[in-house]
Amino acid sequence: MNAMREPEGYLIYLIKQVELGVRRPFEELLAAKGISTPTYTALTVLRRWPGITSSELARRSFVRAQTMAETVNAMLDSGLLRREKDPAHGRQMLLYITAEGDRMIDRVRDDVQDLDAVLASALSEEDRRQLIHHLRACRDVLLAREGRVRV
């Protein structure tokens, strides 16, 4: 019996299918709570890495700096973020999530965890850990190829 081999580029195709499959329900659950995907992404990045610049936030959110500047301005106006001068670099501004930003993330936490559980429902806990490990390794190789560091 001959084992069927995946066609060239199959891993990329499969990853894209998963991304497309999760995108709509993810965007819908955020929209139901009044949060855009870019806002959610920026808030979760800043919760994990407080005190980064807008350009660093853009890199960690996988968007262009110009796109992030618009998102940041809207979030500053909404009171979800605050800016502070970097004491080490006088002209550089650092971004921090506010209590209102934290509350916004908390409003969707359970829904996001539920969607995450659906995504991993066919996997054992060990398989889930291994998938995360392997996806991070793939991400890191791609970033290194671009001369960037792990986010």
Please report the pLDDT score of residue 150 as a whole number: 57
Q: Which stretches of the chain drop beneath a pLDDT of 50?
A: 1-2
CA distance 9 to 127: 23
Confidence (pTM): 0.83
What is the tens place of the pLDDT at every residue in 117-144? Answer: 999 999 999 999 999 999 999 988 988 8
Q: What are phi and psi of 95, to 5 degrees?
A: -110, 140
> What DSSP element (H or E) covers 26?
helix 10-32
Please report the pLDDT score of residue 1 as a whole number: 46
Please report the pLDDT score of residue 90 as a whole number: 77
CA distance 59 to 108: 23
Please report the pLDDT score of residue 132 as a whole number: 95
Domains identified in the chain and CATH numbers: 11-145 (1.10.10.10)
Radius of gyration of the chain (CA): 18
